[in-house]
Structure 1
Amino acid sequence: MQGQKQGMKLSYLGSDAEELSEVLTRCIGPVRVQRPLKTDLSYSYEFAAAGRVAFSRVISHGSLSIGQKDEVPKLLILLPLHGSACVQVGRSESLISKPGEAAILDGNRLSELQIEGSRSHLSFVIDQEEIFQRLRGSLERPVYGSLDFTPQLDLADGAGQIIFKLSQIMATSFGADGAMHNMPETLSHLSGSIVNLLVDTVPHRFSTALNQGEWLPSPRHVKRAVDFMHANLAGPMSMTDIAEAAGIGVRSLQEGFKRFKGMTPISYLTQLRMEAAHRDLLKADQRISVAEIARKWGFRHMGRFATEYRKCYGCPPSEARNGLPLHVEPGD
């Protein structure tokens, strides 16, 4: 997350929009703060980093807009305490952020927060890789692309109420006399609980797979097939080859993957190869071309590879080749 370290904290109090832009960019990603001419503005911002999750408390008075300058692979969750704000997502979608409802925004879609009058809220910025890791562990398969969380969450009931209460506890870390002052590990555990609650209870793109039992441990023949794929990832591989390695027929292999992985064996293999190409693009010598890396992992059609890569990682492979993307696989 923009290079913050565990336990990093920051406090800002001011009225300069440009200065505030720099502070927020450092903490959560590239944004631009603007305020109308001849209007007053005061802004209080407290920030703490807890692993791949950042937490903040905001109090503002006056008119301003905070807009993303670039797409980033993060989730922004707004937990209003006082006052309302209009959130514009893309060119056509909008919602009202008001007390009692959390707004869940995908950083891969440019958004803008417009505030008039007095406003205070708590917020989380979650590296989407933190969520992908948890989903991969549960589903035992590659997971990437859009998360598509429902954009609003009731904070007065169920998981929303628990998330709101946990955020209020975390807010006691702010200030020199806060009850949780200088407790980075505790903040990290609490933020991890909030991520788990989001994944388990808030509807998103992978909720159906989790609810239908794709999280169940895979049977031995499916695990043997996966092991064979990993061991021969760069070589030619057919459905028959995979089925023979797993010790079952092709039809049983297809049924096993559909039940426990939510996709066909070939789709699963393609995702594994896409992850391998992604890692190589981030690490390989600059003299090695995108086409060479794609071909190494079995992608022969460069246009199709570029399209699928962008769907998965939010940028063209040429940008990854130049070391520009923010999305990095675990262990990279």
Structure 2
Amino acid sequence: MTGILIANLNEAPLTAAEIVQWFSTEKGCEAYRPVSSDCRALFSFRVHAIDGFGGWSGSSSAAREFSVDIESDDFMFFLEHGTYYQLSIGDARHLVTPSCGLVTSADRYSGVSIGSASVAEGFCVPRSVIVDALVKTYERAVPTRFEFDPLQNMTSGPAVQLLNLIRFFKENTSDSTDLAMSPIALASFKEMFSLLMVQNLRHSLSEIDLPVHAITPRQIKRAADFATAHFAMPITVSDMAAAAGVSTGALHQNFRRFLNVTPMGYLQQLRLEGVRRDLIEASPSSSIAEIARRWGFVHLGRFSHKYRTAFGVLPSVDLARQP
């Protein structure tokens, strides 16, 4: 099973120095130093991470300020659900509120001023994953200091979709181990999250037109055949494109054009058929959730809806059938 990091600081009255000590002891993180006066007030923090992707949440009943020195250049999302907090990014200071989130590389983040009654949330994404998604989308080298526009509208648009994926990650790593136990689901999550960021948030390459390529029916068939042969493994759309010798963007454009389905949708349909086959062949006492998770479906409610849409019956009906 893929390893999961979980560290949990339950709400307690703590000084800023005690908070920094917890980060050092539980996370091995020496990046934070208290700047504000050392008052004692309620504070909580929780972090959950898997394969370089990490989500965190925290709250503070009092205003606090910390200096920050992080060497990693991975990307960080900052969100707020209570009042506010302010981040120092380079020479600028940005306010994070319930309606305005922020994304930056970790090494540009040098300080945080937390507002009283702040309820914060965040997410970390490996830069290597983003660079890989950029290369596959734009088919060009990525600038060394590539960055996303820092401020993100959290009331509408792509950032809201990213927030939903962050919640999905949290539910299936910290509240359960479903995502770690399903290599297919984890691979799909990583690809979906990185492509959503690269293709929808403004960044250093946003002004560059996406390449448009026509590909041959033979290449589409090659990608479809690869998916059919390997859909039980944790393959992604990028793997399908590589098998066909085309970019992910070209594969997506031409799958939609010729097959009226996205490559991800095609792969998901194959996996739904795999679930159905296993359900029909399984004993009536088998677990639908375990079978679904094996095929990359870790949210049982969403899975049941997709299954019924695809086959016209609930999974429980097929489980009760005799082969």
Bin of the TM-score, shorter chain as denominator length: 0.5 to 0.7
Q: Distance in 2 between matches of 1:159 and 1:172?
A: 20
Matched ranges for 1:182-261 at <5 A:
182-184=178-180, 185=182, 186=185, 189-209=188-208, 212-214=209-211, 216=213
**The residue matched to 1:37 in structure 2 has which SS?**
coil
Work out whether residues 41 and 63 of structure 1, in 8 Å CA contact, stay in contact via their aligned partners in 2: no
Q: 1:67 to 1:216 in 2, by over 3 A?
A: farther
Matched ranges for 1:32-47 at <5 A:
32-34=32-34, 36-47=36-47
Where in structure 1 are there 5+ consecutive unaligned residues? 219-332
Q: Distance in 1 between matches of 2:178 and 2:67?
A: 31
Aligned residues: 208
1:19 corresponds to which of 18, 21, 26: 21
Measured after TM superposition, the shift of residue 36 of structure 1 is 3.2
CA RMSD of aligned residues (A): 3.0
TM-score by length of 2: 0.56
Alignment correspondent of 1:125: 124
Measured after TM superposition, the shift of residue 89 of structure 1 is 1.6
Q: 1:79 to 1:43 in 2, by over 3 A?
A: same
Q: 1:100 to 1:168 in 2, by over 3 A?
A: farther
Q: Which amino acid counterpart does residue 18 of structure 1 have in structure 2?
A: V
Work out whether residues 25 and 31 of structure 1, in 8 Å CA contact, stay in contact via their aligned partners in 2: no
Q: Does 1:50 align with 2:50?
A: yes
Work out whether residues 50 and 191 of structure 1, in 8 Å CA contact, stay in contact via their aligned partners in 2: no
Q: Distance in 2 between matches of 1:23 and 1:114?
A: 22
Measured after TM superposition, the shift of residue 23 of structure 1 is 5.3
Q: Distance in 2 between matches of 1:217 and 1:25?
A: 49
Alignment correspondent of 1:87: 87
Q: Does 1:160 align with 2:162?
A: no
**The residue matched to 1:21 in structure 2 has which SS?**
helix
Q: Distance in 1 between matches of 2:27 and 2:212?
A: 37
Deviation sequence 1:173-212 (CA, Å, 0-9, x none): 476xx3x445324466435423221111111112233xx1
**The residue matched to 2:142 in structure 1 has which SS?**
coil
Q: 1:18 to 1:52 in 2, by over 3 A?
A: closer
Deviation sequence 1:150-178 (CA, Å, 0-9, x none): 11111111212211222233333476xx3
Q: Which amino acid counterpart does residue 179 of structure 2 have in structure 1?
A: M
**The residue matched to 1:86 in structure 2 has which SS?**
strand
Where in structure 2 are there 5+ consecutive unaligned residues? 216-323
Work out whether residues 54 and 125 of structure 1, in 8 Å CA contact, stay in contact via their aligned partners in 2: yes
Q: Distance in 2 between matches of 1:181 and 1:202?
A: 29
Q: Does 1:8 align with 2:5?
A: yes
TM-score by length of 1: 0.55
Measured after TM superposition, the shift of residue 31 of structure 1 is 1.6
The sequence identity of aligned pairs, in percent, is 12
Q: Distance in 2 between matches of 1:126 and 1:149?
A: 12
Measured after TM superposition, the shift of residue 10 of structure 1 is 1.9
